Amino acid sequence: MTGPRYTPLAQSLPATVPFVGPETQERQRGAAFIARLGANESVFGPSPRAIRAMEQAASDIWMYADPENHDLRHALAEYHGVTPENIVVGEGIDGLLGYLVRLIVGPGDSVVTSDGAYPTFNYHVAGFGGVLHKVPYAGDHEDPAALFAKAAEVGAKLVYLANPDNPIGSWHSGADIVAAMDALPDGCLLILDEAYVECAPEGTAAPVSADDPRVIRMRTFSKVYGMAGARVGYAMGAPDLIAAFNKVRNHFGMNRAAQAGALAALQDGAWLEHIQTQIAEARERIGTIARENGLEPLPSATNFVAIDCGRDGDFAKAVLEALVARGLFVRMPFAAPQNRCIRVSCGDTADLDAFAVALPKALAEVRSNTA
Ligand SMILES: Cc1ncc(COP(=O)(O)O)c(C=O)c1O
């Protein structure tokens, strides 16, 4: 009896996952976290209108969801002033990144990203046998000019850029991104991941036509809209590219309650503004707590703040572990020199009170161990 005959590619892949979830950590610790500030979710929750729509959809859950996501796609098209043919809806940006990589990347194909950028993209590239080229950040910003120059050098089919960025929270103006796109090599598609753009200053969204064949933009209901567990994202791009997703996507992958919730969330502009204010206030408070403890918060256009712990990655990791030991779920960047930081998601007052109590204790413990 032999086991399943995995492809050589599957055999070559590591058994690791891009992120260990907080639930896994809670099981390992034998205790729940007191503040969940590690995954850039929105503790402020979805619009009450979205909750009502999802509750109403619950009794219809025996039906598969509309595989065309018709109503949500049309509403998104109207919202953005584009056509429904410019929009594909999928299981979060993570799901859409997987489909896109499957469409474009085969074994040995070159792809470019920043060293330390959002790792789920890298995971998909590895899964389809692509070769990932990584470009360093410029200071604490992803570097569009360097990314596009590297793409030209290695003949990349895809280049990934998150604006605003995760894990640092830095951003470029949309106009700067568009200007940099002049250097995108022919035949290379830019994935512009705008997961956090609703938290960013006016002018951060790239002013590109949805029909521009050089770029696909990705958005999500997981962040400002507070629906990470519903798994709804969408991509905007040229109609041919958007239509190609139909060849590979999981047509019945969407949850019908999530479709209804996203539609209602999109229509609740007042809630969006309310959350944008909550996020801005929480960012301020995280910054204040960091400074009170002698640490430097980095400017953020997202729903989290990266805090420079002032030393190396080992020190930041020890601070992170000391916070986790005190019941705070936080994460940190993977790559140097950004791994001198810990990354704290915006929380409500109780969450940030808990952070304000735990941080000085965590720092005192780590400083006494490393003195
Ligand atoms: C830059 C970036 N892109 C995508 C995602 C995932 O989005 P989704 O929940 O829509 O899959 C995240 C989540 O943290 C992110 O930081």
Q: Whose CA is nearest to atom 7 of ligand 1?
A: 93
> Measured between alpha carbons, how far is 248 from 245 in angstroms, rounded to an integer?
6
| Domain closes at, from 249, 268, 287 | 268
Gap from CA of 40 to ligand 1 centroid (Å):
9
Within 10 Å of residue 351's Cβ, how many Cβ atoms?
23
Stretch 30-40: mean pLDDT, rounded? Answer: 96
Structure confidence by residue, pLDDT tens digits, 233-262:
999 999 999 999 999 999 999 999 999 999
Does the beta carbon of 302 lie inside 6 Å of ligand 1? no
Question: Are 61 and 189 part of one and the same domain?
Answer: yes
Gap from CA of 93 to ligand 1 centroid (Å):
6
Instruction: Give the structural domain span for 274.
Output: 8-45+270-370
Give pLDDT, residue 81. 98
Question: Are 138 and 23 part of one and the same domain?
Answer: no
Give pLDDT, residue 2. 80
Give pLDDT, residue 189. 98
What is the token pair recorded at 108? 């040995």
Gap from CA of 121 to ligand 1 centroid (Å):
10
SS3 content of the chain, % helix, strand, coil (to 5): 45, 15, 40
Question: Are 195 and 329 part of one and the same domain?
Answer: no
| Domain closes at, from 227, 250, 268 | 268
Does the beta carbon of 345 lie inside 6 Å of ligand 1? no
Give pLDDT, residue 13. 93
Structure confidence by residue, pLDDT tens digits, 57-81:
999 999 999 999 999 999 999 999 9
Give the mutation target among 89, 194, 217, 220 for probing the ligand 1 site: most ligand atoms within 8 A of CB: 220
Give pLDDT, residue 31. 95
CATH of the domain at 193: 3.40.640.10
Question: Are 212 and 261 part of one and the same domain?
Answer: yes
What is the token pair recorded at 169? 């929270």
CATH of the domain at 356: 3.90.1150.10
Asked if the model's pLDDT at residue 16 lies above 80, the reply is no
Does the beta carbon of 41 lie inside 6 Å of ligand 1? no
Beta strands in 175-227 (DSSP E): 189-193, 215-220
- The answer to whether residue 1 sits within a structural domain is no
Give pLDDT, residue 1. 64
Please answer whether residues 296 and 290 qualify as being in contact, where contact means their C-beta atoms are separated by less than 8 angstroms: yes
Please state, for a pLDDT cut of 70, what percent of the chain lies above it.
99
- The answer to whether residue 30 sits within a structural domain is yes
Which of 285, 307, 303, 302 has the alpha carbon at shortest distance from 346? Answer: 303
Q: Whose CA is nearest to atom 2 of ligand 1?
A: 195
Gap from CA of 241 to ligand 1 centroid (Å):
21
pTM (predicted TM-score): 0.97
- The answer to whether residue 220 sits within a structural domain is yes
| Domain closes at, from 218, 240, 268 | 268
Asked if the model's pLDDT at residue 283 lies above 90, the reply is yes
- The answer to whether residue 3 sits within a structural domain is no
Please answer whether residues 254 and 323 qualify as being in contact, where contact means their C-beta atoms are separated by less than 8 angstroms: no
Question: Are 201 and 276 part of one and the same domain?
Answer: no
Structure confidence by residue, pLDDT tens digits, 337-370:
999 999 999 999 999 999 999 999 999 999 998 8
Stretch 274-280: mean pLDDT, rounded? Answer: 98
Report DSSP state, residue 141. Answer: B
Give pLDDT, residue 15. 85
Question: Are 282 and 241 part of one and the same domain?
Answer: no
Question: Are 222 and 308 part of one and the same domain?
Answer: no
For the chain, the first-to-last Cα distance in angstroms comes to 58
Question: Are 237 and 320 part of one and the same domain?
Answer: no
Structural domains in the chain (count)? 2
Which of 224, 218, 220, 252 has the alpha carbon at shortest distance from 233? Answer: 220
Gap from CA of 218 to ligand 1 centroid (Å):
9
Question: Concatenated DSSP letters for 306-318?
Answer: EEE-SS-HHHHHH
- The answer to whether residue 335 sits within a structural domain is yes
